[in-house]
Structure 1
């Protein structure tokens, strides 16, 4: 169709030509965006509140696909629009369908129940001195079909394993939602894991029958390691082999997180690579001992097959978590590339792994495990695919010291790239990020890969003939070195960066910018720095909350003049204190509201006055079940700007600004407030949210 020079059609045709030329230059990168678009549709389903919004997203995505058809499928622009639109629509529909497919009955209110149940999974919780079990109740029609219950170690039958049948009595509750804005929402995880309730067992817990082989292979290996390596290092050793981190003490787990070494405890790329590589190397060395086999048999093909079997077996032994599955898929693709003589360690490999995981587990997208593992791998490969990095790491004639220094520098650069990629994700989900991770990983990764894991494998192998003790002793010493690195890096001054909360919009800008930089190759890739920088600036500009209120109204943290926070209930448990500290973005102990200047507390109520931007804010909170005389309560409410209570307050209680009692908090969830001239309020629950786990919570009977 001809266009008049200077007309709108002529300009559109010119724009399409420029876009087409750019996409032609990026033709090898276009497939990488398929899992990104699929993930965009999945994320849209989780972020949008209701069916009308989900339907509108699918319709808009299909409209984008039709626009691609209109542009023309012979053009890369048209095909990209078609594929992207279909992927977005498919991602939203996939998440929606998966949520409906996994639906099971969920407990609607707390109950105390006695029942028999089969043990489906066992996890040790060293920090809580208890064991966590997933149970399937038997002949209990009033209970959900799948429960998660904690049993104190003193009450648990010895040698508890998968397949055992128990008789117990437990207090069960609906899976809890996030208690504070930006907090972990276990209700989503429970929905997709088909857990209908959580709870705690009472004594006695009786084992009616035991599985003859002592549980699954994973459980037997974990128990064997704990018996063979008693002490502090046993939990780390179990995590490295089986992926079960429940045996790691709270102090060691915190040190690993603060030092940026927590990824070593999650069986993922590092562990699968080490297992597959060791299996291939051992196979090649053994087969090469025979000249006839070395000359006549395809040793690389055989070794790749042994490596593939090893990787798959390790994945199932370690529980087949998302990072492990992703790493196993990637390893299989690498092996396939080696067999056919192709370069397999590329971003296409990562994209294929992401596509497999998202198609099977679309809910994994919103979890930190998926985001951290894929972000780390994308950062490393994108860095090493850059021409300058390829030139720097290319083999050359040089002395051993220069080679060692160059390899150490490459490892440090990789660590820095990974830290940049992971920091926004860690700050978004956990409100903290270790700053010395790049340096700590330079030592910790080689120690883990080339010392700890080989020693542990040798110890397990030699235990078959009763000679593993020396190897376990050496493993314990190596793990002690690893823990020393973690504690030294985690406890160093300025080791942890803290943020009270990263808005979803800021996080989305950072992710979009990072993907744009990582997945394109032409100069336009650097346009991604703009949204990345904008998102980072937005996140850093968010002020710390002045007041945090949990969803049940029982706990609050109030910010004092010096930036420290005070807690309403002095006897609050460590879990509550850690949760409030994390949401506040601080690494200090919480004080008691009784000791806060300007606060007056009794056994039943607390009053506090906080000054912000030249204005005094008056707070009233209840902290006991005893009722204050109605006249006194009404007067106290009238004198307060904000009133907080974990029970229903009378209608005559009318504060000047905000009333957060039980009925209001059931609608809003947890609350975070920033005082000032224009105060802002963040809440946990979206208005009109129709996701199944939220709809069930809203339908629960009020008490």
Structure 2
């Protein structure tokens, strides 16, 4: 018996070892089939490290991640020296650690000088940039003042449009009066954190000026920045004037990237219809400009038989397209999305010049790697995520064998060709819409549902009609012959706006969702990458995390109570999903922020109107039923102090007390006291009552540099 048992115990480890070997062999076989896809995961690894730095709050977490990735890399190389699996894990871990270290170093290197508290000041500073916002009747100035210790080195100020003269230009030194405030962080959990963006853009304060602008020193005539800004503003005004109306505002945006002229109702219609990407100078516009320049150069040079037979026309045309793309990028402000698109376009042109198939996922991976190395902070912004997700989804779709077979060119009647082309546009638009929806819902809490259909018309209309017509009209304006073409531009832009407004007003045109859990979003992103970047059958495993993340996001209820970080504003979610505000006179910014975070569009009401609430000028008391029990909320809403006995009695009867002032020690609610003292440590709150829980903007020990200044 002992021998038999001994034999069995000796066989069992061998069986487990055989199973492990079989699993490793299967993984090795998969990786061998996917070896051409492995480099695509380098920017993913770099992005993982960057995202982890943003996700963790303190340096202990960052150090632990870097050391953990280093240990994983050592283990991968040590135990898999002869295996592709081990080497792949090792390289992935090293790049992830480098990504975390890179963004950490960049955040500390920025060292943005940030204002500590609001100030009202008269100051003298140099104008760094001028952005006209005609739709808001204002002008935005970026100012630099390295010598005043009371002010940050660089800050942003808005002025009324009638305060600005031609002398207010880049490079000029001006004196003005303004109220400056520190860059605002997220007001409630899940809200937009401008302080993070301001840190990386070196914006130390924001504010508004009044009175007259005194010119201390005029702009230097030889400043290339000033000359470029002036030419850009002149061109935008020229285009807007030639087209006129709301169409002129869109035309100026397409020509120069200046979106300040677009009316808010048109901008909102473009967002709701899924066409907002047409207003951002990015890949679509850069590609159109480069394509027009390349095609014109190639056709003009081909008119000469000698050049056509002896000169490398493709190489020359690619060079002309590259110059046009670089010039357009600089002229439209060289914003990060435009620079990113220009880099990708340059890589495509290099591939064209070398006679290679340039439109591949390797191109996208290379572009993402370059952008993340130079601007790692862009990873967490919607612009980076939307643009790279769209391009990745398009290429993955068209590289699939079934799609190639369905959409490949063939000898058939022109009606069938048009049908196949339309089907390709529809499939592409649908895939892009699905890929972008989680990103739009995470960042904006809304996404257009009919964007795929709208883009079938809008993208070809913009790329092949509107942008070439604008270029032709500008060229003809040199000879005074551009008027008929400008009329055509206006008509086509009117059609584009009609599409946007028609789609945006369609019932159920927009999907709304309250603030999404970060983990649910991460699951969908990981699943989408797995689905797009692999080619073999195991790519379908990516559907599991996508589905899990989507279900998680959909079943996550909105918060029952939202409180801003200063304690002045509170919103209570009613049983029908609408919001009731503590201060009915809250501005549009506060209302929009509460609505977006809660995933609703209905106009928020007043807490005074709730049948279960009682309010006076100084305070409100409300009762909610959640989770099978009654919750009583008490909140102050004036600067006048309440009688101490009455205040203590109200606190004792309440489950939750909200106040923008420091409450006395005798105020002891049954569950939560969120007064000025607590909110200074936590920031804004999202309170759930079923089950009870509180999410905060600020985390204990948060060591991210823009948070250390708050």
- On the 8 A contact 1:435/1:495 being kept in 2, the answer is yes
> Cα 1:607–1:492, aligned 2, differ >3 Å: closer, same or farther?
same
Q: Secondary structure at the match of 1:232?
A: helix
- Residue among 595, 607, 629 paired with 1:593: 607
After superposition, give the CA deviation of every residue in 1:149-174 in whole Å (9 maximum; x if it has no partner). 11121333357432232211111111
Return 295-304 or 648-657, whichever deviates more. 648-657
Question: Does residue 615 in structure 1 map to residue 632 in structure 2?
Answer: no
Residue aligning to 1:461:
475
- Residue among 658, 662, 680 paired with 2:672: 658
Distance in 2 separating the partners of 1:576 and 1:480: 33
Distance in 2 separating the partners of 1:279 and 1:666: 56
Return 31-40 or 544-553, whichever deviates more. 544-553
- On the 8 A contact 1:162/1:215 being kept in 2, the answer is no
- On the 8 A contact 2:301/2:307 being kept in 1, the answer is yes
Distance in 1 separating the partners of 2:495 and 2:616: 50
Distance in 2 separating the partners of 1:259 and 1:668: 37
- On the 8 A contact 2:112/2:200 being kept in 1, the answer is no
Residue aligning to 2:322:
308
Distance in 1 separating the partners of 2:79 and 2:480: 70
Residue aligning to 1:435:
449
- On the 8 A contact 2:167/2:218 being kept in 1, the answer is no
- On the 8 A contact 2:40/2:365 being kept in 1, the answer is yes
- Residue among 476, 481, 492 paired with 2:490: 476
Residue aligning to 1:687:
700
Distance in 1 separating the partners of 2:418 and 2:23: 50
Question: Does residue 539 in structure 1 map to residue 553 in structure 2?
Answer: yes
Distance in 1 separating the partners of 2:622 and 2:160: 39
After superposition, give the CA deviation of every residue in 1:101-139 in whole Å (9 maximum; x if it has no partner). 111321111111111111111223345321111110263
Q: CA RMSD in A?
A: 1.8
Residue aligning to 1:425:
439
Distance in 1 separating the partners of 2:617 and 2:252: 46
Pairing of 1:265-304 with structure 2 (within 5 A): 265-304=279-318
Q: Secondary structure at the match of 1:104?
A: coil
**Cα drift, residue 23 of structure 1:** 0.4
Distance in 2 separating the partners of 1:406 and 1:12: 48
- Residue among 122, 144, 152 paired with 1:136: 144
Question: Does residue 51 in structure 1 map to residue 59 in structure 2?
Answer: yes
The two structures have a TM-score, normalised by structure 1, of 0.96
- On the 8 A contact 2:136/2:260 being kept in 1, the answer is no
> Cα 1:139–1:509, aligned 2, differ >3 Å: closer, same or farther?
same
Residue aligning to 2:183:
175
Unpaired stretches in structure 1, ≥5 consecutive residues: 698-703
Distance in 1 separating the partners of 2:112 and 2:556: 39
> Cα 1:328–1:73, aligned 2, differ >3 Å: closer, same or farther?
farther
Residue aligning to 1:353:
367
Q: Secondary structure at the match of 1:28?
A: helix
Residue aligning to 2:119:
111
**Cα drift, residue 651 of structure 1:** 1.9
Pairing of 1:389-428 with structure 2 (within 5 A): 389-428=403-442
Distance in 1 separating the partners of 2:232 and 2:665: 56
Distance in 1 separating the partners of 2:141 and 2:479: 32
> Cα 1:202–1:545, aligned 2, differ >3 Å: closer, same or farther?
same
- On the 8 A contact 2:167/2:215 being kept in 1, the answer is no
**Cα drift, residue 5 of structure 1:** 7.2
Residue aligning to 1:524:
538
After superposition, give the CA deviation of every residue in 1:16-39 in whole Å (9 maximum; x if it has no partner). 222111100000100000000000
**Cα drift, residue 8 of structure 1:** 4.8
Return 463-472 or 490-499, whichever deviates more. 463-472
Distance in 2 separating the partners of 1:570 and 1:304: 59
Distance in 2 separating the partners of 1:649 and 1:479: 57
Q: Secondary structure at the match of 1:154?
A: helix
> Cα 1:137–1:465, aligned 2, differ >3 Å: closer, same or farther?
farther
- On the 8 A contact 1:26/1:521 being kept in 2, the answer is yes
Return 205-214 or 137-146, whichever deviates more. 205-214
Residue aligning to 1:701:
none
Distance in 1 separating the partners of 2:248 and 2:307: 41
> Cα 1:406–1:72, aligned 2, differ >3 Å: closer, same or farther?
same
Residue aligning to 1:700:
none
Distance in 2 separating the partners of 1:82 and 1:219: 51
Return 456-465 or 211-220, whichever deviates more. 211-220
Residue aligning to 2:507:
493
Question: Does residue 625 in structure 1 map to residue 633 in structure 2?
Answer: no
Residue aligning to 2:41:
33
- On the 8 A contact 2:117/2:182 being kept in 1, the answer is yes
Distance in 2 separating the partners of 1:470 and 1:207: 41
Return 611-620 or 371-380, whichever deviates more. 611-620
Q: Secondary structure at the match of 1:647?
A: coil
Return 359-368 or 451-460, whichever deviates more. 451-460
Distance in 2 separating the partners of 1:566 and 1:207: 47
Distance in 2 separating the partners of 1:529 and 1:173: 46
Distance in 1 separating the partners of 2:101 and 2:655: 45
Distance in 1 separating the partners of 2:406 and 2:681: 57
After superposition, give the CA deviation of every residue in 1:344-398 in whole Å (9 maximum; x if it has no partner). 1000000000000000000000000000000000010000000010111111111
After superposition, give the CA deviation of every residue in 1:173-221 in whole Å (9 maximum; x if it has no partner). 1111000111110111011011111111121222334434765243332
- On the 8 A contact 2:135/2:262 being kept in 1, the answer is yes
- On the 8 A contact 2:184/2:193 being kept in 1, the answer is yes
Residue aligning to 1:191:
199
The two structures have a TM-score, normalised by structure 2, of 0.95
Distance in 2 separating the partners of 1:624 and 1:214: 51
- On the 8 A contact 1:567/1:592 being kept in 2, the answer is yes
Distance in 1 separating the partners of 2:105 and 2:489: 46
Return 3-12 or 407-416, whichever deviates more. 3-12
> Cα 1:157–1:646, aligned 2, differ >3 Å: closer, same or farther?
farther
**Cα drift, residue 10 of structure 1:** 4.1
